[in-house]
Amino acid sequence: MIADDPTARRRRRWHWRTFDTAAGGLALDLALYAASTVFAAITAVTSTLLPHRAWGTIAAAGYLVATLVVTAQLLLRRRTPTSPLVGLPARWAVTGLAWAGTALLPLLWQSIERAGGRTDRAQEEVLVVEHAGARLLEHGTPYLGPDAIAALPPGDQLMGYTPYQPGMAMFGLPRAFVDTWWTDSRVWFAVGTALALALAVGALRGTPADTDKTGTAHRRNAALLRGVQAATVLPICALTLATGGDDLPVLALCLLALALAATDRPGRAGLAVGLAGALKLFAWPVALVLIVWGLTRRAGARVAAGAIGLPVAALLPAMLVDRDALTENVLRFPLGHGLVTSPAQSPFPGYLIATGLPAGRLIAAALLVAAGVAIAVRLARRPPRTAVATAVICGYGLLAAIALMPTTRFGYLLYPLALLTWAPALHRPTDTPPTAMPGHLSGRATSA
């Protein structure tokens, strides 16, 4: 096998940059919106999930409008290349309108119809989070114990589980006070997502390095736009926010943490990823890699204070109120040892191995552990010294975990896709930390 040389790697990067920047980025914008139009239309016609079909009906029109607008921009660019209507600010405006039409509008429409009595306008996650908020308000814990779940009718036992961290229940609290469209937990998922993304964009665009006049700032802002598109208008994200939504604020907080790391604010990065970890376990691997990044800058304690402290602070009250309920919901059920099994069964390798081979669950678990060990060795031998390297390791690590978990969902791919697309926007002119990591790691630490 021929070794991969630096020249070949540079050539591949050059080809990707050529594709990504073709026609000032409009060519890839057109491909994104056109393919998304097709995806949404197919979803509207073929999906067996009614909330998904409802999303597709509205989102297909939103993506089609964005496709037509970008087509007009491309035609205008051929005649007037310097027109402000084809520049980066205009592309940002189209992205915002596309997100409004393909995620926010379907979300609001389904929330209003649900408040009007439709029972097929929300995925189970929405109900679970709202029930968790009501239990938190009434009992001090969002979780039902195993005895309480066992007492439910068999068809309702799955809905009795809350496989999230305690902080997720906060999005369900408004529904505990009043039953109306704006207390739908998806509305608050969208608010949290928009706020976190706005802070991330502001952090990356507000540094002095982004005000240079060499063209570097433009390239970074273009990469930032692409990262925002991946977290908003990409169909897997828009569909998830409109129909279920709980993954999007977690993802947005992880992106915010990486943006804060890129701008050398490790303490705030730890707080952001800690908030994400207080919502869902998917943020914990990101927190771990960020702590290792912090160690390379002698800031590991500052990152860990928030990254570990906030999830622990969220878990303690639930543990004190009912430890067995906490264990049943956040450990036994996700690991497949609850009273009912998770419906998350997308046909990824881990699921196929677990269901198709003798002792398949053990084999899948062993592969998952092996992947984790490989990533741990990578972190020990070559800890990430930049936010870019951190995002890349997180993206590929989560991709491996999603592929190998026995119970997983196709929608979880939004995490690695967004993280890997976000990475180019994290480049800074000076990514070398001011002080090296002590001990044996400092001599071998290199950027990914």
* pLDDT tens per residue, range 104-138: 999 999 999 999 999 999 999 999 999 999 999 99
Beta-carbon-side half-sphere exposure of residue 15 (alpha carbons within 13 Å): 5
Chain mean pLDDT for the chain:
88
Residue 432 pLDDT more than 80? no
> Which pLDDT belongs to residue 207?
62
> Which pLDDT belongs to residue 214?
53
Residue 2 pLDDT more than 50? no
59-64: long-range pairs with CB below 8 Å, 24+ = 59/101, 59/102, 59/103, 59/106, 59/235, 59/238, 59/239, 59/242, 61/101, 62/98, 62/100, 62/101, 62/102, 62/105, 63/33, 63/34, 63/36, 63/37, 63/98, 63/101, 63/102, 63/233, 63/235, 64/37
Model confidence at 430, pLDDT cuts 50, 70, 90, reads low
Comparing CA positions, the residue from 211, 226, 267 lying closest to residue 22 is: 226
Residue 372 pLDDT more than 80? yes
> Which pLDDT belongs to residue 444?
36
Specify the pTM: 0.90
Residue 445 pLDDT more than 70? no
User: Model confidence over 196-248: pLDDT tens digits?
Assistant: 999 999 999 876 544 445 567 788 899 999 999 999 999 999 999 999 989 99
> Which pLDDT belongs to residue 426?
95
Mean pLDDT of 149-175: 93
Mean pLDDT of 183-199: 97
> Which pLDDT belongs to residue 77?
93
- Distance from C-alpha of 4 to C-alpha of 10, rounded to nearest angstrom: 11
